[in-house]
Amino acid sequence: MSASETPKRSMRTPLGRVRNLGAAHSGTSDFWRQRMTGVAMTLLILPVLVVVMMTLGSNQAGAKVILGSLPVAVILLLFIFASAWHMKIGMQVVIEDYVHNEKVKLASVMLNNFFAIAVALASTYAIFKLSSGV
């Protein structure tokens, strides 16, 4: 090694370098999940907008017929799941970055998870109720 070359020093442990994980020990999985849900929502937004446009001039019975069909129910359910998951991941990142008190952070992440699940379940229940004709 010449005098002009300095060895590249890393602050990471050997095990961390082997596993290629950051300080959170989760790599970039949340990053990619958020990107995938974003792509899913982008692909599903046009069919969802078409469904909304179809229901605009309808009365309640007409909207129930449109929203009760199987293809529409599947599209709406996929959009709901992608949106709820995307929302959960995004809020969790904000909480982890900006809430510094560990107890408040833990409580906030738990509430965020429960809220995302509640939104997804309530929306899913509504779609199933409409599509089953009850």
Task: Give per-residue pLDDT as tens, 41-56.
Answer: 999 999 999 999 999 9
Amino acid symbol at 34: Q
Task: Give per-residue pLDDT as tens, 47-94.
Answer: 999 999 999 988 988 888 898 899 999 999 999 999 999 999 999 999
- All domains of the chain in start order, with CATH: 29-132 (1.20.1300.10)
Token pair, residue 90, equals 């995004």
The mean pLDDT value of the chain amounts to 87
The Cα–Cα gap between 26 and 79 comes to 26
